[in-house]
Amino acid sequence: MEIVVRASIIFFFLLLLTRGMKKRSLTNMAPFEMLLLVTLGDIVQQGVTQEDMSLTGAVLAVSTFAFWITVLTWATWRWRRVGKLVDGVPMVIVRDGVPIDEVLATERLPLDELHEAARQEGIADLAEVRFAILEPSGRISFIKA
């Protein structure tokens, strides 16, 4: 029943992939990034189930993913260090109204995206912002001065 082994490998590969992608990709995708998301399911499905068209195979593949999600969820709750490794850490990207260019460059976050996120929070000028934090989920939190 090697579906379990293949599903596990694909799960951890996808986990590495999502951790390696820039954080904003997770919430705010460019069209070319959306292409990957749309086709990812089809691409990996054959690698997991191959020619297995049985209900049993589908149940096992899904159960394997759900199992590892459950394990990681528990591990991130139990050990903070695991949480940082799996989910990432929040990063300050604006301090006292000034964008931190080094962090923006590392996260490949264009200033335009930062401005867009601020507008969505009703912030017209970054000078109003004491801190802006890029969360592990890819969302940007704003703390006003």
Partner 1 sequence: MSPTSSSTLPDETPSLGLRRAGYTITAALLALVVGIAAADAIEAVAILGVDSRTVSANGGGVDLEVTYGAVSRPALATPFDIEVHQAGGFDGPVRVAVDREYFRMWDENGLVPAPSAETVMGAWLVWEFDPPLGDTLRVTYDARIEPAAQEGRSGAVAVLDAEDAVLTQVAFTTRLWP
Positions in the binding site for partner 1 (CB under 8 A): 1-5, 51-57, 59-60, 63-64, 66-67, 70, 74
Choice between 37 and 62, CB closer to partner 1: 62
Q: How far is the CB of 83 from partner 1 (least distance, A)?
A: 18
79 vs 143, beta carbon nearer partner 1: 79
DSSP 8-state symbol, 76: H
For residues 68 and 7, what is the distance between their CA atoms, to the nearest angstrom? 10
Could you tell me the smallest distance in angstroms from the CB atom of residue 65 to partner 1?
10
Q: Check if the beta carbon of residue 11 is closer than 8 Å to that of residue 47.
A: no
Task: Find the distance separating the first CA and the last CA of the chain, reported in whole Å.
Answer: 57
How many angstroms separate the Cα of 116 from the Cα of each of 25, 60, 96, 109? Answer: 14, 42, 18, 11
Q: How far is the CB of 25 from partner 1 (least distance, A)?
A: 29
4 or 44: whose CB is closer to partner 1?
A: 4
